[in-house]
Structure 1
Amino acid sequence: MKNNINLKILISCVFFSLLSCSDETIDYEETTKDFKTIQVTNHDGRPFSTTSTNETAKFVSGAGGGVMMQAFYWDVPAGGTWWNVVKGKVTDWGNAGIESIWLPPASKAQNGPFSMGYDLTDYYDFGDYNQNGTVETRFGSKTELVSLITAAHNENIKVYADIVINHNSGGQSEFNPYTNSNTYTQFNVASGKFNRSYHDFYKNSYGNNDEGSFGGFPDLCHANPYVQDWLWGRSDAVGKYYKNTMKFDGWRFDYVKGFGPWVVNQWNANVGGFSIGEYWDANAATLEWWCDNANSSAFDFACYYRMDDAFDGNDLTKLSTGDMLWKRRPFRAVTFVTNHDTDQIWKKDLAYAYILTHEGYPTIFYKDYEEWLDKNKLNNLIWIHNNKATGNTSILYADNDEYIARRNGYNGNPGLVVYLNNSGSWQERWIQTNWSNTTIKDYTGNSTWQPVTQGDKWVKIQCPPNSYSIWSTL
């Protein structure tokens, strides 16, 4: 896929390949003519922090910050076994450097033993009430969930709950004067906590609708003080019960397009904990707006779609020119390659190498880690992220097939250089590092070179076909 190669550059590359990597001295006029370093982010270089100001971190993040595991996929096995399955993984995940796990919605939902939790009925039933045809949820009992959370904390892993507060499901039929019809909005739940009626769903006395409804489910009215009080206000509010009784450390808010960002802002102000919003939008500016108004992190869907354009669309310039949340708000962006809702990036190895070397809070999908990809390679990338991926970012080179970026280091950590190669052949490039007269190596082991940077910090590095290399000091 390489094209329009300058013959003079090609001749130079052949000549220089005959020289020792550590001894080369060259005229950069031709070899650097296409280079234009782009300073992508400007900040003090500190790692991504998942600790709010009013909490003590359970996990001491490495130099690059944390890595999150999405600890489920759509339609995990039913039968009440999933909490125990995840519990059996947390020691290995902790040893690999995973900082946090994101669990599916844990409360009882309409579809009972078969529900993935997004059709939520009773916020306070974690598998201990006979309701909706079952005592346990699809994932297990409350006792098993508490045991999982305890085991994760023992491994210094935080646990994030999937919070569904846009809509509810499983209510009984009642006459609704605002619709002049019967609606399924009568929730007299088994826990006895946060019973609801048509007053608590749109349309009602507070209006006809909010920012969005989902799937025809009753749309919870956050403008109602009664709803606010039960979600985050009172001492036994949903958020506080999850945090103080169940011991969750943070929140993944489902379908936040369905209500105003002030809702998450109020939850965070009253409950605390790390929070992520699922604002499904490819526009980085829109994601930035939501983060600023919600006082929350968000999944970087802009990055997700740019990676798909780059790796599967064979145009790695999309990584340098594409607008992404991590470029606008490095400490608000939660990056990912796939999740339980979407899985369209084919070249996942390159995508994981990208998010685990760049700014943001990278997320690994359970099936990618446990079934579909090479776990050893992912563990290597997690180690690199936790130990080397720090500092702001400079993009050194990008074309259809190649992308090279530099993390500029922080607080004595040297940072790294990542080289992505989307072509079918080995590639080599001269690039400028932050290191003078220093031996470097590829921490992935994909290249065996150990070149020495020149006095002006330039060095030649290489990358195997359809793969990546990640360089730093010894």
Structure 2
Amino acid sequence: MDNQTLLQYFHWYYNEEDKLWIKAKKDAQSLAEKGITGVWLPPAYKAESGATSIGYDPYDLFDLGEFDQKNTVETRFGNKLDYQEAIKVFQDNGIVAIADVVLNHKAGGDELEQVPVRTVDPENRLAFTSAVFNIEAWTKFTFPGRNKAYSDFVWDKNCFSGVDWAEDLKETGIYSIQNEYGDGWEEVPSLELGNYDYLMFNDIEYRNSAVREEVKRWGEWYYHTCGMKGFRLDAVKHISSDFLIDWIDHMKAACGLDFFFVAENWNIESVESLQHYINITGGRMQLFDSLLHHNLFMASTTKMYDLTKIFDDTLVQAQPLLAVTFVDNHDSQPLQALESYIDFWFRPLAYALILFREGGIPCIFYPDLFGAKYIDKTEEGYETGVELVALAVLPEMIGIRRDRAFGIQHDYLDFPTCIGWTREGIEEREQSGIAVLMSNGEMGMKLMKIGTGHTGKVMIDALGVRKEEVLIDENGCGEFYCNAGSVSVWVFSS
């Protein structure tokens, strides 16, 4: 039995001296030794903004840093061979490589076309605000730099349901393409703004069977070319769930592999919507628990937060086997659109809440292991620098999860400023079993049960915050402590 621990192996502003694929090959062994079992890699294909792009403005899915397109051969993260080698080195070290897949949209078309459109109300995408008229749009993708290598498929206006730029008018907007598949948007899971099919750039039209088949062919090619064993699916609430079901089932059947799938369906309003998505897709995907992230963020903003409610209305509470929990990611980091970065004082508590419990698969954020420094502009247009300091206790915490966080869980989520839990451990894991106690107020103490099988054993705080020893009594209980605004993780002394 192993505890899975994922790592988001990038952040929005990755700017280190080594290209990421080179660094990955260097880091793979040490990450495996720390206890990382899966790495989420950023989009690897050529993007509209070329060598500066993190990859969420995808241009050519078949160009993994191999062809001279968008003024570069390599992507921001490196070239095709280094990407392939990084995946192999990770998986040779027992770490599953999880490739980021952006299937909602394409950007950076090669040629203009005359496209019949209607404008819609941005706040109600179901409401047309014009009659049909023609615009010139960058909807034709011929990929001249690739010259039909791997695929000769040409994307045109029939492959998209909407665009956001009229070249002839020099105007942005939400333009619904009027085509043979209907005058409205595709049916998608999200009903925000009436229908949230349209997100950005050229929105892919999955009612077009030729598009569906091309994306399935690409998926097979991608796996056979690179060998990844997992996929992270971007922006799924904007994509036809019928298509994603079809694509996932096809990938598993065609490649003969039970891939790991995790999807981003960002929602901080309602756990019911995430449960609904799980239901309509038949539980084919894990989902990132953005609701728990939001609770962690709110808890970090005030020491008045009621910790007994930290798991209320979260996916890990409702569907623990399908939740991927996280503290932060590239969207929530400072200066990003969904900025909600958890304050540093609370980060050890937040990581304890995702690493040491039975439910959910935790995903570590790159800067918390490696740190990060970068510069960008604020919403007001002012340039500012950001430093995200690596969390010194995180490697120790990951190791505790790997070696000790097993067994039946006993919860003590019973006081607003101090909560805890224990894990009894299992026979197969010598020295397994932990007790976790945290406070967002004053110093905390709780009598907690870890099991009569541990009577007479001594426990110590593995994080070194508390110095006393705890003796487990004849009832299998001990008095555990934590400092004010801190967390302690108690393990059996060897």
Give the structure-2-normalised TM-score.
0.77
Q: Is the 8 A contact 2:445 2:481 kept in 1?
A: yes
Instruction: Compute the displacement of 1:449 (Å).
Output: 3.3
Which of 342, 345, 361 is matched with 2:342 structurally?
345
1: CA distance between counterparts of 2:356 and 2:158? Answer: 49
Which of 412, 429, 433 is matched with 1:396 structurally?
412
1: CA distance between counterparts of 2:437 and 2:300? Answer: 13
Instruction: Compute the displacement of 1:402 (Å).
Output: 0.8
- Structure 2 vs 1, CA of residues 430 and 318 (structure 1 numbering), >3 Å: closer, same or farther? closer
Which position in structure 2 is the counterpart of 1:8?
none
Is residue 415 of structure 2 the alignment partner of residue 439 of structure 1? Answer: no
Which of 437, 444, 448 is matched with 1:427 structurally?
444
- Indicate the structure whose relative CO is greater, using CA pairs within 8 Å and at least 6 residues apart: 1
Instruction: Compute the displacement of 1:248 (Å).
Output: 1.4
- Residue identity matched to 1:155: N
Instruction: Compute the displacement of 1:163 (Å).
Output: 0.5
2: CA distance between counterparts of 1:112 and 1:311? Answer: 37
Which position in structure 2 is the counterpart of 1:174?
113
Which position in structure 1 is the counterpart of 2:180?
205
**What is the percentage of aligned positions where both structures have the same residue?**
27
Which position in structure 2 is the counterpart of 1:143?
81
Instruction: Compute the displacement of 1:336 (Å).
Output: 0.7
1: CA distance between counterparts of 2:28 and 2:211? Answer: 35
Is residue 180 of structure 2 the alignment partner of residue 196 of structure 1? Answer: no
2: CA distance between counterparts of 1:375 and 1:309? Answer: 20
| Mapping for residues 102-113 of structure 1, pairs under 5 Å | 102-113=40-51
- Structure 2 vs 1, CA of residues 262 and 412 (structure 1 numbering), >3 Å: closer, same or farther? farther
Q: Is the 8 A contact 1:336 1:362 kept in 2?
A: yes
Aligned length: 407
Instruction: Compute the displacement of 1:107 (Å).
Output: 0.5
Which position in structure 1 is the counterpart of 2:127?
none
Instruction: Compute the displacement of 1:395 (Å).
Output: 2.2
Which position in structure 1 is the counterpart of 2:362?
362
* Structure 1, unpaired ranges of 5+: 1-60
Higher strand share: 2
Which of 219, 243, 255 is matched with 2:235 structurally?
255
Is residue 93 of structure 2 the alignment partner of residue 155 of structure 1? Answer: yes
- Residue identity matched to 1:331: L
Q: Is the 8 A contact 2:289 2:325 kept in 1?
A: yes
Q: What are the Cα deviations for residues 152-182 of structure 1, in whole angstroms up to 9, with x where unaligned? A: 1222111111110001101121112455322
Which position in structure 1 is the counterpart of 2:124?
none
- Residue identity matched to 1:158: V
- Residue identity matched to 1:335: T
Which position in structure 2 is the counterpart of 1:461?
480
Which position in structure 1 is the counterpart of 2:435?
417
1: CA distance between counterparts of 2:222 and 2:102? Answer: 13
2: CA distance between counterparts of 1:224 and 1:72? Answer: 34
Q: What are the Cα deviations for residues 335-393 of structure 1, in whole angstroms up to 9, with x where unaligned? A: 11111110321021111111111221111111111114455511111111122223464
2: CA distance between counterparts of 1:323 and 1:275? Answer: 23
Which of 276, 279, 301 is matched with 1:292 structurally?
279
Give the structure-1-normalised TM-score.
0.80
Is residue 321 of structure 2 the alignment partner of residue 331 of structure 1? Answer: yes
2: CA distance between counterparts of 1:466 and 1:215? Answer: 40
DSSP-derived class of the 2:421 partner: strand
Q: Is the 8 A contact 2:412 2:448 kept in 1?
A: yes
2: CA distance between counterparts of 1:251 and 1:309? Answer: 30
Which position in structure 1 is the counterpart of 2:245?
265
| Mapping for residues 207-246 of structure 1, pairs under 5 Å | 207=182, 208-210=184-186, 211=188, 212-213=196-197, 215-232=199-216, 237-246=217-226
2: CA distance between counterparts of 1:291 and 1:255? Answer: 15
DSSP-derived class of the 2:327 partner: coil
- Residue identity matched to 1:345: I
- Structure 2 vs 1, CA of residues 396 and 79 (structure 1 numbering), >3 Å: closer, same or farther? closer
- Structure 2 vs 1, CA of residues 435 and 268 (structure 1 numbering), >3 Å: closer, same or farther? farther
2: CA distance between counterparts of 1:284 and 1:417? Answer: 28
Which position in structure 2 is the counterpart of 1:383?
399
* Structure 2, unpaired ranges of 5+: 119-133, 162-176, 189-195, 253-258, 334-340, 372-387
Q: Is the 8 A contact 1:428 1:460 kept in 2?
A: yes
2: CA distance between counterparts of 1:132 and 1:397? Answer: 53
Which position in structure 1 is the counterpart of 2:266?
280
DSSP-derived class of the 1:362 partner: strand
2: CA distance between counterparts of 1:243 and 1:409? Answer: 38
Instruction: Compute the displacement of 1:447 (Å).
Output: 2.7
Q: Is the 8 A contact 1:303 1:325 kept in 2?
A: yes
| Mapping for residues 300-311 of structure 1, pairs under 5 Å | 300-311=289-300
Q: Is the 8 A contact 2:444 2:483 kept in 1?
A: yes
- Residue identity matched to 2:285: S
- Structure 2 vs 1, CA of residues 450 and 146 (structure 1 numbering), >3 Å: closer, same or farther? same
1: CA distance between counterparts of 2:301 and 2:13? Answer: 27
- Structure 2 vs 1, CA of residues 397 and 214 (structure 1 numbering), >3 Å: closer, same or farther? same
Q: Is the 8 A contact 2:141 2:156 kept in 1?
A: yes
| Mapping for residues 13-24 of structure 1, pairs under 5 Å | none
2: CA distance between counterparts of 1:268 and 1:350? Answer: 36
DSSP-derived class of the 1:140 partner: coil
1: CA distance between counterparts of 2:401 and 2:449? Answer: 21
DSSP-derived class of the 1:130 partner: coil
Q: Is the 8 A contact 2:422 2:448 kept in 1?
A: no
Q: Is the 8 A contact 2:296 2:310 kept in 1?
A: no
